[in-house]
Amino acid sequence: MHEFRFHRPLKHLALSLALSASLGLMGISSALAAPAAAASTAAASKATAPVVALSGNAFITQSAADAPEWIDGAQGLMDWSDPNTVISTYVRVAQAGKFNITLRGSAPPGSLSDVKVTALGKSFKIRMNSGATQFSSLATVDVTAPGYVRIDVQGLNRTGPQFGTLTDIVLNGTATPGLIYANDPSNFYWSRRGPSVHLGFNVPSNTEYFYSELTVPQGEDTLGSYYMTNGNSESYMGIQVNAPDERWVLFSVWDPASGATRLVSKGPDVIVNNFGGEGTGGQSHLVYPWVAGNTYKFITRVRPDGLGATNYSAWFFAPEDGRWHFIATWHRENTTTWMKGVYSFVENFNVDKGYLGHRALFGQQWAVSSSGVWTEINKAWYDTDPTGDNKQRMDFAGGLDAGSGQFFLRMGGFFNETVPSHQNFIRPLTGRKPTVDLNTLP
C-alpha cells in the first residue's frame, strides 16, 4: 500500500480544479535533429529561458512494474536505465509560438546515451555526452494554442550502465513568455500531488447531522484518490483508493488543542488507530470495494455531551447491499459544539500519481438540527489550495455540473478548463428529503 497523508486542516473553505489534455507519445520524426552548439545570441537568450525542474513537474507515466526509475524531490530523475520507461514533464503555455528543448543532467562517466524527446506530436533525438551538463538539438516544437503541453523523454540506447540523470528541462522560444510550471522548490511535493479543491457549506446553527451523496464517475477512481464528502471543523469523512486492490471508507477526528480524542464505539470490521503528519487525531476506516459510477450516501453527526466534550459519529450507505454501515463514534475532549465549518474536497495523496485526473459529483446536501428539522443546502463556496492559488498548477475546477444539477470538483490530469477559485455556486433545490430514519441508524 502506498503511504499517504491526511488532508491539511482548512481555515478557510474553498476549492478549485484545473484541466489539461495530455498528448501521448507519438512516432519519432523521420528527420532526427542533430545535436547543435548554441550560438552566442541563443546562449544569451537561454540565460533567461524557463528552467523546469523535474523534481516538481515530472512523473513516470509509463514503466514496467519492476522499473527502477523514480523522481527525487530535489534531484529529479534517478536510476534511469530502462528504455521502456517514459518520463513526462508538464508545462502550461500562455500563447502560441515555438520552443526548443534543452535537457540538463549528466551521462555516466565515459558513456554516451541517446534519448527521444516528444512534445505535441513531434519527436527528435538528443545525445547525452559524458562530461557535459546540457544537451540540445536544432529541433523546434510548434505550439498552436495556449494550454498544457506534455514533454516525454525516453531512453533509446546507451553505452553505460544507465542513461544518466536529468534535473531540468530548459525551454527557449516565442511560446515561453508567461509559461506556468511548478517553480517553488519548497513545495515540489505538493505541486506533484496536484491542487486540492474544496466546497464550503453554511449550515444552520445547532446542526447535529449532515447528509450528502457522492458519485465518482467511471475512470476517475485512480490510485491516490480521496473524495471527502462530509467534513467539518473537527472531523472529515470520505472514500479513498489506497492500493490497486484496496479501497477505504474513512472517518477521522482531529485532536483538540488540549486533551485527546478517544474511540467510543465502532462498526463491524472497522479498523481504528491514531493518525499524524497533518495534525493528529483518531482515524477509523472500513475496507470496502466501492465502485465508480455508483452513488454513495454519507451521514456525520456532531453532538455535545453536556459535560465539556463532543461526540462525532459517521455512517456510510452502500447501494451494493442496500444498508447503512456504522463507521465509528469518537469522543473529543474540551470541545462543546454542534456541526460547523462543513465542507467537501477532492485531492490526490499519491505524489507519484499527480498526473492522473480526479472528478466527482456532490449532491443532496442536507443539514438536520438538534430538534430534527431537515434543511436542504444548495449553496457552496468553491476554492483551491496554495498549489492552485500560487499557480504552481492550474488543473483545478469546480462548480455546478449542468447535466446533473449537482456540484462537481475536479483536479489533476493537467486539463486546460480551469475554473477560477473563490466563487459561490448555487445548485437547484431538489426538495427530496432523504428517506432515512436517523433514530434507527446502526
- Cα 372 to Cα 96, 203, 330, 368: the distances in Å are 58, 14, 22, 6
Q: How confident is the model at residue 278 (pLDDT cuts 50, 70, 90)?
A: confident
Work out the burial of residue 372: count CB atoms within 10 Å of its CB; fewer than 13 is exposed, 13-18 middle, 19 or more buried. exposed
Residue 373: all three cell numbers together:
428539522
Residues 78, 55 contacting (CB under 8 angstroms): no
pLDDT of amino acid 107? 97
Domains within the chain, CATH numbers bracketed: 40-188 (2.60.120.260), 195-440 (2.60.120)
Q: How far apart are CA 242 and CA 239, in angstroms?
A: 9
Work out the burial of residue 23: count CB atoms within 10 Å of its CB; fewer than 13 is exposed, 13-18 middle, 19 or more buried. middle
Residue 410 has pLDDT above 80, yes or no: yes
CA 382 remoteness from chain centre: 16
Residue 120 has pLDDT above 50, yes or no: yes
pTM over the 0.85 mark? yes
pLDDT of amino acid 11? 33
Residue 434: all three cell numbers together:
432523504
- Whose cell is 483545478? That residue is 396
- Cα 259 to Cα 262, 307, 331: the distances in Å are 10, 14, 11
Residues 368, 374 contacting (CB under 8 angstroms): yes
φ, ψ of residue 438 in degrees (nearest 5): -60, -25
pLDDT for 366-385, tens place per residue? 999 999 999 999 999 999 99
Residue 332 has pLDDT above 90, yes or no: yes
Average pLDDT over residues 329-350: 98
pLDDT of amino acid 18? 31
Q: How far apart are CA 381 and CA 398, in angstroms?
A: 10
Q: How confident is the model at residue 138 (pLDDT cuts 50, 70, 90)?
A: confident
pLDDT for 38-62, tens place per residue? 333 343 344 489 999 999 999 999 9
Instruction: Show the CA angle centred on residue 156, arms to residues 151 and 157, nearest 5°.
Output: 145
Average pLDDT over residues 275-290: 91
Q: How confident is the model at residue 353 (pLDDT cuts 50, 70, 90)?
A: very high
Beta pairing partners, 172: 100
pLDDT for 148-164, tens place per residue? 999 999 999 999 999 99
pLDDT of amino acid 287? 99
Q: How far apart are CA 160 and CA 32, in angstroms?
A: 22
**Span of 14-18, 93-97, 268-272 with lowest mean pLDDT:** 14-18
- Size of the chain, expressed as the number of residues it contains: 442
Residue 24 has pLDDT above 90, yes or no: no
Q: How far apart are CA 71 and CA 80, in angstroms?
A: 10
Type of residue found at 148: Y
- SS3 per-residue string spanning the chain: CCCCCCCCCCCCCCCCEEECCCCCCCCCCCCCCCCCCCCHHHHHHHCCCCEEEHHHHEEEEECCCCCCCEEECCCEEEEECCCCCEEEEEEEECCCEEEEEEEEEECCCCCEEEEEEEECCEEEEEEEECCCCEEECCCCEEECCCEEEEEEEEEEEECCCCCEEEEEEEEECCCCCCCECCCCHHHHHHHHHCCCEEEEECCCCCEEEEEEEEECCCCCCCCCEEEEEEECCCEEEEEEEEECCEEEEEEEEECCCCCCEEEEEECCCEEEEEECCCCCEEEEEEECCCCCCCEEEEEEEEEECCCCCEEEEEEEEECCCCEEEEEEEEEECCCCCCECCEEEEEEECCHHHCCCCEEEEEEEEEEEECCCCEEECCEEEEEECHHHHCCCCCEEEEEECCCCCCEEEEECCCECCCECCCEEEECCCCCCCCCCCHHHCC
Residues 356, 61 contacting (CB under 8 angstroms): no
Residue 128: all three cell numbers together:
547525452
pLDDT of amino acid 276? 80
